[in-house]
Amino acid sequence: MNLDHIAAINARLLGLLDLPEKPEPPAPPAPQASQELLDIKEAAKLLGMSPKYLYRAYPQMPHIKIGAGKRGRIRFRRAQLEAYIESHSFNRRSK
């Protein structure tokens, strides 16, 4: 048997089975805001500081280092930075 013959048998069998067509696979979910990774410039803008200052201060903040050594890239999860801002903010008004 050659491949054309097998393909014809397969098509005929599928026609006899009267199977519904395969549905489209669902689209991959969009990244959630909590999982969104920010680079230094984006994180600095969110935090209201310069990228240069953030390079010095990032070890005290929740971050992810992608890669090893000096060439590793620093990334921040938006949700973790927002939680960091909330926990390090204070209300100037006294009650």
- Give the pLDDT confidence of 40-63 residue by residue, as tens digits: 999 999 999 999 999 999 998 899
Per-residue pLDDT reduced to its tens digit, 1-44: 678 888 888 778 777 776 666 677 777 666 665 678 999 999 99
- Nearest Cα residue to 75 out of 52, 48, 50, 44: 44
Domain spanning 31-95, CATH architecture? Orthogonal Bundle (1.10)
Q: Where are the domains of the chain?
A: 31-95
pLDDT at residue number 52:
95
The percentage of residues in the chain with a pLDDT greater than 90, rounded to a whole number, is 32
Residue ranges of E strands in the chain: 37-38, 64-66, 73-77
Give the amino acid at 27.
A
Task: Extract long-range pairs of 63-70: CB within 8 Å, 24+ residues apart.
Answer: 64/37
Global pTM reads 0.57
pLDDT at 50: 95
